[in-house]
Amino acid sequence: MDRREILRHVDHTLLAPTATWEELQVLCDEALQYETASVCVPPNRVKQVKDYLCGRMPVCTVVGFPNGYHTTAVKALETEEVLDRGADEVDMVINLGWVKEKRFHDIQTEIHTMKDICDDKILKVIVEACYLTEEEKIKMCEVVTEAGADFIKTSTGFGTGGATFEDVALFAAHIGDHVKIKAAGGIGSFEDAQRFLELGASRLGTSRLVKIMEAEKPIL
């Protein structure tokens, strides 16, 4: 798999709280140049980015980010607003406290609510795997599948750890046929990116791979 093919699986991402419009424009320009899967931007920038891209690239954003402990009503309102602003894909964070309390029915209901709102738009569910036991990870594969989400996603990139090969392999063994995997957080090389894809990921959340390509451009 060559680098250009790998980049087609990347959600080119900038979610830093200090991100400026100028930096987001660069993100969009890079995504178009390298034909990434999408750009992933903060919720308040969705309309600006959507207008800038003029339909040339899907726009992804986040809901309940990064801690996931917003109420379901707030997450629902967030989701409705970002879709109204033009988001094509939504990455939502689950309530991790509910996982620890084994309130899996509540988590499934919340995800299902978000998917109903998203309808034909893509919903990715961030389970922040660095905080979960193996048993909890397997249970979340079941919950995400039953709730009808499109993707299970490893990490926000703001937790204590990011994507691991072990987690992606575990997800691939336990998710339903209709659920895809997004690996995110700490993906810093094309070799690692290819390994994640080989293990079953369909999307990669990172900005580093494009930065590598930019750094390797010849200076004229």
Active site (catalytic) residues: 91, 153, 182
Query: In this structure, what token pair is assigned to residue 63?
Result: 């809901």
Judge residue 118's burial from the number of C-beta atoms within 10 Å of its C-beta, 0-12 exposed, 13-18 middle, 19 or more buried. buried
Nearest partner of 31 among 6, 51, 13, judged by Cα: 13
Q: What letter does residue 200 receive in the DSSP assignment?
A: T
Q: How far apart are the first and last CA of the chain?
A: 28
Q: How far apart are the C-alpha atoms of 197 and 68, rounded to whole Å?
A: 26
Question: What angle separates helix 190-199 from helix 208-215, to the nearest 10 degrees?
Answer: 140
Q: Is 182 helix (H, G, I), strand (E, B) or coil?
A: strand
Residues 68, 169, 61, 18, CA torsion sign: positive
Judge residue 4's burial from the number of C-beta atoms within 10 Å of its C-beta, 0-12 exposed, 13-18 middle, 19 or more buried. exposed
